[in-house]
Amino acid sequence: MRYRSFAEVETRGYSPLYDAWCMGVSGDGELLALLDTLPPARRQPVLFLGAARFVGVPLGDYAAFRSFVLDSWDAIRSVMETRATQTNEAGRCAVLLPSLAAISADEGRPLALVEVGASAGACLYPDRYAYSYSPGPSLQPPGGSPVPPLDCTVAGPVPVPSSLPEVVWRAGIDLNPLDAGDDDDVRWLEALVWPEHRFRAERLRAALGVVRAEPPLLIRGDLNEQVLPLVARAPADAVVVVFHSAVLAYLDREGRDRFRDTMIRLTADRERPVHWLSHEGYGTLAGVPDAMEKAPGEEDGRFVLQHNGVTIARTGPHGQSIEWL
């Protein structure tokens, strides 16, 4: 059921190869039995597919995929046991940028960014990328960007800024921070890019070059233990924005609830301005004001963007679209 749902909701119309592979896995008792030998949290489709790609699976039909997995299961299993899904998609900055710019303008301060689940940190550089909104403006940082423009289709009254906000401090938290200068870490991130998305792979390589040129502060640890100390380290003259994208689904309910409660307290503290941007799938943040729950007919693979717990937009999971609500 898990692999069929992933094929029908996440990959259909977006990655024909992953659609075919996951549909095949969903009815393949032998492969499902192998996956069942892993802990439930390690059976994720994206982790399995990325591990197979990392080990060298050919990009062919399901029969070739199946044969490779059976022959290489020990190596694939080892990757699934030691690596985690850490897609570092710079394109998501396109759906975060309108809110980041509005927060900076409203507070009259530059931004101090704290990313929860930062991976290698590519999403900590929204001021270093170029953007192309359709319909809407194209934006460039001073001197241009080595990263191809982040394309994003727009629906509704999205407050697309006329210029990029200033970022004076950037930091992230991850259970296993990845190093943009480490060849194996880069190869793992490339394996997590869906096979038909060559433009995303090119963008990833360019974004990691931005990260290598000016590495952010990356803290290893649990987000619930590290977020408050890291926020406290941010410059006092900046407005702190804690953000995350496709992270909370990897926490259990208790961990998500604890994080939600922490963020609600932080954003309510008037001694220092702190904002919270959540970019997640449906159903990951029950219990916050105006949160969208998963409901019949809403399972279209899009994400929900929330600002301080209030839903403001629906988005493409890789930042390819934003619909303001």
The string of pLDDT tens digits covering residues 193-241 is 999 998 889 999 999 999 999 999 999 999 999 999 999 999 999 999 9
pLDDT of residue 270: 76
- Tell me the average pLDDT across 138-148: 94
The model's pTM: 0.86
**Whole-angstrom Cα distance, residue 179 to residue 81?**
19
Give me the pLDDT at residue 287, please: 60
Quote the pLDDT of residue 296.
42
If DSSP codes are grouped into helix, strand and coil, which group holds residue 240?
Answer: strand
- Quick one: DSSP state of residue 165? P
The gap between the terminal CA atoms of the chain, to the nearest Å, is 31
Nearest Cα to 282, choosing from 295, 273, 270, 265? 295
Quick one: pLDDT band at residue 151, thresholds 50, 70, 90?
very high
What pLDDT shows up at residue 315?
94
pLDDT-based confidence at residue 286 (cuts at 50, 70, 90):
low
Amino acid (1-letter code) at residue 205: R
State mean pLDDT over 266-274.
88
Across the chain, mean pLDDT equals 92
- Strand 111-116: give its sheet, edge to edge: 138-139, 131-134, 150-155, 321-324, 310-315, 303-307, 274-280, 239-245, 111-116, 167-174, 217-220
Is the pLDDT score of 294 beyond 70?
no
Bigger pLDDT: 88 vs 170:
170
pLDDT of 289 over the 80 cut: no
Report, as an integer, the average pLDDT of 158-172.
97
Residues 309 and 34: their CA atoms lie apart, in Å, by 39
pLDDT higher than threshold 60 for residue 299: no
What digits encode the pLDDT tens for the residues 63-110? 999 999 999 999 999 999 999 888 889 999 999 999 999 999 999 999
**Alpha-carbon separation of residue 279 from 63, 140, 148 (angstroms):** 36, 23, 22
* pLDDT attached to residue 290: 56
pLDDT of residue 1: 77
The answer to whether 227 touches 259, Cβ cutoff 8 Å, is yes
Residue 179: pLDDT band with limits 50, 70, 90: very high
Does the pLDDT of residue 320 top 60, yes or no?
A: yes
**pLDDT score at 86:** 85
pLDDT given for residue 291 in this prediction:
55
